[in-house]
Amino acid sequence: MNLHNLVLSQDISQATNLIECCLSCLNRVRMEFQRGNLDECERWLKEFDRCKRDLDGLMTKKQVKDKMERLAKDLTERGYNVEIISWKARKNS
């Protein structure tokens, strides 16, 4: 998995930690399942879901940024001054 293509550069460390968390949780799920401890198994599944949700959030953040960059490039190619548009958007918020 190439994180550089999936998350922003400033989020790589956090994404790495979340992936390690997901893998650790899945390992714990397997161990607890083999022991027959279904309550602990479910607890680790919930923790996996939390880590996965946070990782998905980082990936969505990158997708939104990439989409905005493509839009800015397209508008620039059409002759719009994107800097003015973004400045006005910030000023009106």
Report the percent of the chain where pLDDT is more than 90: 68
pTM higher than 0.75 for the full model?
yes
CB under 8 Å to 85, separation ≥6 — which residues?
Answer: 75
Taking the domains of the chain in order of start, what are their residue ranges?
3-92
Asked whether the predicted pLDDT for residue 31 surpasses 80, the reply is yes
Work out the burial of residue 69: count CB atoms within 10 Å of its CB; fewer than 13 is exposed, 13-18 middle, 19 or more buried. Answer: exposed
Distance of CA 31 to the CA centre of its chain: 27
Asked whether the predicted pLDDT for residue 87 surpasses 80, the reply is no
Distance CA 69, CA 82 (A): 10
Q: Which two tokens stand for residue 92?
A: 């009106």
Mean pLDDT of 13-19: 97
